[in-house]
Amino acid sequence: MNSTATQPQTVAPPEAELISRNPATLEELGRAPISTTRQVNDAVARARAAQAAWASLSFKQRGAHILRAKDLLVQRQDDLCELIACETGKPTVEALSSEVMPVANLMDYFARKSERLLRDEQFTLSVFRNKKSRILYEPVGVAGIISPWNYPFSIPMGEVVMGLMAGNAVVLKPSEHTPLVGIQIGELFREAGLPDGVLQVLTGDGTTGGALADAAIDKIFFTGSVRTGRKIAEAAAQRLLPFVLELGGKDAMIVCADAPFERTINGALWGAFCNCGQTCASVERLYVVESIADRFIQAVVEKTKTLRVGYEGQQDIGPLNNSRQLQVVTEQIQDAVAKGAKILAGGRRIDGLPGYFFEPTILMNVNHSMRLMQEETFGPVLPIIVVKDEAEALREANDSSFGLLASVWTTDTRRGRRIAEQLEAGTILINDVIYTHGAPETPWFGVKQSGMGVTHSRHGLREFVRMKHINWDLMPMKSNLWWFPYSEKRHRDFKFLMTLLHKWGLKKWI
Ligand code: NAD
């Protein structure tokens, strides 16, 4: 696929262009402008001007735009999958199963359910019996979204759809590694008839992202590395801009003695190597109990050697997306080997292929002093640690500054849930990995350094609104008991009320 992408409002000089390359062949796929601070500010002003009219539409009307865009997505699924595969390096089937299809599900879900998920709440108060409250959810206004390259379609699309359904105008800055997919997101909605200014896609690099964080937006939604997330939080703190951060992970997989054997091996392989290990929720640490360790590790190694790496025809694993990732993976493996790790499979860049291909790698004799066990790897590398029992596995799994997802593998669901309750992560899956990003009704979020705030589900949708609380009298009186003038009698009245409510226990009944 070879296309030169430009946006109508940005005519960039040649030196201010991104060159998008296929990481499998290193061929140029197309170019896109690096939007300037001025262009970012202009886009935010256009978004501000368009937002009120968009918010005045009903949920049904906004949902109709999303569903029209979904119809276009369905029609163009093959082209889109090809573009995603070319720009990221992932197999086309994975572009469909992990990006395009989950997005179609998500569009459907939020187009139809947002009204119910954001319905007003009304209630009478308990002590203040004469009062009633109503909670409304209003759009935040202009939402800025900054997204990464590893899921260049599904991550920004989820945020865009939720932002639009909640009544916001959205300005999206896709990753500099995948600008062409970002541009297609804008195209889908433009062709679906979204009013001008309601969604704008501004391609660019970190400077464009920084300009968006500094622009007159009302909330920023960032998905990316901890390093950049910290910069976003610092910029946002200067002006108390609310933010959501979806950051990196170092997800642990705990394999109990009674794990379903075949499923656990297949799950470990997919969890560690899908998208060439470049998933925030990739399995990056595997703890297996010693009673099954030998048999389990042997089976994992054998099956890893059957995985097909390449870019033409049927392959399981494509290349890493960029040279920086290749360097991180190589350095972490070197550090681990220098400290005593043993490579059981893979461990090298694949010669003879032009792009950033790396063999799926299994290591053991690893420990938590190694970079590989502390830092996010984001590559096709699975370090395995043999533990005495589940208690040791839990301690080791929680010994991390990250907390995105984790998984427990056992045929005893009660045991799985007991371990899950003690794991320090946003989501814990029993006998599965990663997949809940594709289930729009489930929340996606990290604890510790893996992030703040939530995406997907009604909790993620509510990140795109602000609450308004309205309160009124059922039967207005001349004055409230706690207003002026104060007196001895008023003091006695309050003391009596305290006794009535909290000593005699009337509070229990109201
Ligand atoms: P990154 O932090 O390098 O870049 C992310 C985005 O931020 C890009 O669009 C980039 O242009 C922009 N950016 C860079 N510098 C900026 C700045 N100073 N101000 C504003 N924006 C700036 O991350 P990446 O390499 O694109 O993505 C990989 C990372 O994302 C991994 O750590 C991965 O775990 C994480 N991730 C997390 C989730 C999640 O849901 N938690 C999902 C996907 C990826």
Provide the pLDDT for residue 16. Answer: 85
Q: Model pTM?
A: 0.95
pLDDT by residue (tens digit) across 152-181?
999 999 999 999 999 999 999 999 999 999
Pocket test for ligand 1, best of 225, 284, 445 (most atoms within 8 A of CB): 225
Q: Give the pair of three-digit tokens for residue 162.
A: 């939720």
Helices 261-273 and 290-304 pack at an angle, to 10 degrees, of 60
Place of tokens 């979904």: 70
Contact 148, 224 (CB under 8 A): yes
pLDDT by residue (tens digit) across 425-459?
999 999 999 999 999 999 999 999 999 999 999 99
Residues tagged active-site? 246, 280
Report long-range pairs for 361-364 (Cβ below 8 Å, ≥24 apart). 361/333, 362/297, 362/300, 362/301, 362/304, 363/333, 363/336, 364/297
User: Would you say the CB of residue 403 lies under 6 angstroms from ligand 1?
Assistant: no
User: Would you say the CB of residue 460 lies under 6 angstroms from ligand 1?
Assistant: no
Q: Give the pair of three-digit tokens for residue 353.
A: 């292929």
pLDDT by residue (tens digit) across 318-352?
999 999 999 999 999 999 999 999 999 999 999 88
Q: Region 488-510: what's the mean pLDDT?
A: 89
Q: What angle do CA 444, 381, 354 make, to 5 degrees?
A: 110
- Amino acid identity of residue 388, one-letter, is K
Provide the pLDDT for residue 507. Answer: 67
DSSP letter, residue 386: E
Show the DSSP H helices in 76-153 as ranges: 77-88, 92-95, 101-117
Cα 22 to ligand 1 centre (Å): 19
Provide the pLDDT for residue 14. Answer: 47
Q: How many residues does the chain have?
A: 510
Concatenating the DSSP letter of every residue in 272-317 gives HHGGGG--TT-EEEEEEEHHHHHHHHHHHHHHHTT--B-SSSS-SB
Distance CA 449, CA 151 (A): 20
Q: For atom 26 of ligand 1, which residue has the closest CA? A: 148
Provide the pLDDT for residue 7. Answer: 43
Cα 147 to ligand 1 centre (Å): 6
User: Would you say the CB of residue 209 lies under 6 angstroms from ligand 1?
Assistant: yes
Query: Ligand 1, closest atom to CA 437?
Result: 40
Alpha-carbon torsion (95, 179, 209, 38), positive or negative: negative
Q: What angle do CA 122, 463, 452 make, to 5 degrees?
A: 130
Candidates 332, 335, 341, 329; CA nearest to 384 is 341
pLDDT by residue (tens digit) across 374-431?
999 999 999 999 999 999 999 999 999 999 999 999 999 999 999 999 999 999 999 9
Higher-confidence residue of 509 and 461: namely 461
Candidates 221, 249, 216; CA nearest to 233 is 221
Least confident of 6-10, 49-53, 170-174, 206-210: 6-10
Is residue 315's pLDDT more than 90? yes
Query: Ligand 1, closest atom to CA 205?
Result: 11
Candidates 193, 183, 197; CA nearest to 72 is 193
Distance CA 147, CA 486 (A): 57
User: Would you say the CB of residue 434 lies under 6 angstroms from ligand 1?
Assistant: no
User: Would you say the CB of residue 404 lies under 6 angstroms from ligand 1?
Assistant: yes
Cα 362 to ligand 1 centre (Å): 26
Cα 244 to ligand 1 centre (Å): 13
User: Would you say the CB of residue 223 lies under 6 angstroms from ligand 1?
Assistant: yes
User: Would you say the CB of residue 201 lies under 6 angstroms from ligand 1?
Assistant: no
Q: Region 496-503: what's the mean pLDDT?
A: 93
Provide the pLDDT for residue 8. Answer: 43
Contact 59, 157 (CB under 8 A): no
